[in-house]
Amino acid sequence: MTQAVSQHRASPRWTDYLPLSRGAWRNTAFVTAGVPVHAVALSMVVASWTVMGDIESVGEVLISLGISLLLPLVLLKPLTAVQRSRFWGLLGVDLPAPPSVGRDVRAFLRSPATWRQVAYHALVGPVLVLGGLLVIVMWAAGFGLALLYAYGWALPLHSPLAMPGQYRLYTNLTLSGVLILLVTPAVATLVTRLDARAARALLGPSRAEELERQVEDLAEKRAGVVDAADAERRRIERDLHDGVQQRLVSLAMNLGLARETLTGVPDDAMQVITEAHTEAKEALTELRNVVRGLHPAVLDDRGLDAALSGIAARAPLPVKLRVDVPVRPAPTVEAVAYFVASEALTNVTKHARASHVEMALARQGDILRMTITDDGIGGADPAGGTGINGLRQRIASVDGTFRITSPAGGPTVITVELPCAL
């Protein structure tokens, strides 16, 4: 957002072409401030090559050549930092720095960003120096010539340069100065635009680097959204468990106590109490299922092994479970693995007609690998229902991979890999 706004501020407006407008003075200040910076960069390049002047041996040639190459490179980063500060301070243009290579000299020399910066300072810099000097000279000449008319009237009458004897000369010079003042803002704007375009192309990241940075930003934002959603599910689970569920437990206990202890109650009233007790217990069971579906507390307390064991124990068919996760992954990855296993078992129960299921979970380096196999009828179509699509979406939320093989007649094998780098 900042970059987009900055670029809009740097774009020329029609008022920038007026001699005394804010845009004209801003562009003039910008190109004027760039003259000494570009001149320093140019002088470093020239000075580095003057070292090659007096050489008498091959060793001196190599030493001089090394100095001539290293001297500009040593000052490359500070000069580029000054240029970025100039763009931000005077134009409001933010030039993102290219990816850092640290202190690795070889990586620095091999980086395309290094040689783009060299091209800006060594090749574009001299042109911008000339442009900046031209703007300065035009402003000075324009104001000087425009004021000559008043100077001519201020001279004594006996002077050979006094008015009105030199009226035509002063008029022509004054008109020339006014014309120069009218043209100078356009020249300053042109130099500013040239500098801005060259800087965006050479001092900032390349298009590929910018796209890579945007992809990384989007990945970080998506991970943040996934973590926030998981944290919100945990909060809702705690609130339901500690609040509503406890109230339902208390209500069911009171109704059960009333059902057992009250005597002499009319049959109609006792029937109402009995039905209320039954409804309270059913509501409590449903709420526990909802809480477990949001985020099981056992997953936080004891990890995937205990949580998946609970799923396997509640399944209506035999489930053989193997878990080998010596180091727990991130909570978000654990939650995804738990819900994938839970939804996969639900799909098997509803559609596969299987007699048993095998589930294996193991951490291999930075990958959490899960395999779910059933001996059902097979023929599961990834495009045929929402169950498999739901699994795929959950896994994709953490950049995981999902594969399913389900030939007609079975078996069906689901393989899931989730990144869990610490």
Q: Which of 325, 410, 313 is nearest to 360 (CA)?
A: 325
Q: How confident is the model at residue 342 (pLDDT cuts 50, 70, 90)?
A: confident
Amino acid at 272: V
Q: Does 134 have pLDDT greater than 90?
A: yes
Q: Does 32 have pLDDT greater than 60?
A: yes
**245 beta partners:** none
What pLDDT, on a 0 to 100 scale, did the predictor assign at position 3? 42
Q: How confident is the model at residue 130 (pLDDT cuts 50, 70, 90)?
A: very high
CB 388 within 8 A of CB 405: no
Q: Does 253 have pLDDT greater than 90?
A: no
What pLDDT, on a 0 to 100 scale, did the predictor assign at position 235? 65
Global confidence as pTM: 0.50
Q: Does 421 have pLDDT greater than 80?
A: no
Q: What is the mean predicted confidence (pLDDT) over 142-157?
A: 70
- Lowest mean pLDDT: which of 78-92, 244-258, 292-306? 292-306
What pLDDT, on a 0 to 100 scale, did the predictor assign at position 70? 60
Q: Does 4 have pLDDT greater than 50?
A: no
What pLDDT, on a 0 to 100 scale, did the predictor assign at position 115? 81
Give the integer Cα–Cα distance in Å for 222 and 40. Answer: 45
Angle at Cα 268 formed by Cα 262 and Cα 274, nearest 5°?
60
CB 295 within 8 A of CB 233: yes
255 vs 212, more confident: 255
Token digits of residue 128? 């911008």
DSSP-based helix, strand, coil % in the chain, nearest 5 = 70, 10, 25
What pLDDT, on a 0 to 100 scale, did the predictor assign at position 188? 92
Q: Does 315 have pLDDT greater than 80?
A: yes
Q: Does 183 have pLDDT greater than 50?
A: yes
Give the integer Cα–Cα distance in Å for 129 and 34. Answer: 7
State the chain's mean pLDDT as an integer.
Answer: 77
**Superfamily for 298-419?**
Histidine kinase-like ATPase, C-terminal domain (3.30.565.10)
Phi-psi region of 367 (alpha: psi -120 to 50; beta: other; left: phi over 0): beta
Q: Does 300 have pLDDT greater than 50?
A: yes
- Lowest mean pLDDT: which of 164-168, 209-213, 414-418? 164-168
Q: What is the DSSP string of 133-199?
A: HHHHHHHHHHHHHHTHHHHHHHS-TTSTT-TTTTHHHHHHHHHHHHHHHHHHHHHHHHHHHHHHHHH
Q: What percent of the chain has pLDDT over 70?
A: 72
Q: How confident is the model at residue 227 (pLDDT cuts 50, 70, 90)?
A: low
Q: What is the mean predicted confidence (pLDDT) over 185-203?
A: 90
**361 beta partners:** 323, 370
What pLDDT, on a 0 to 100 scale, did the predictor assign at position 105? 67
Amino acid at 251: L
CB 359 within 8 A of CB 308: yes
CB 118 within 8 A of CB 72: yes
Q: Does 231 have pLDDT greater than 70?
A: no
- Lowest mean pLDDT: which of 88-92, 285-289, 319-323? 285-289
What pLDDT, on a 0 to 100 scale, did the predictor assign at position 45? 62
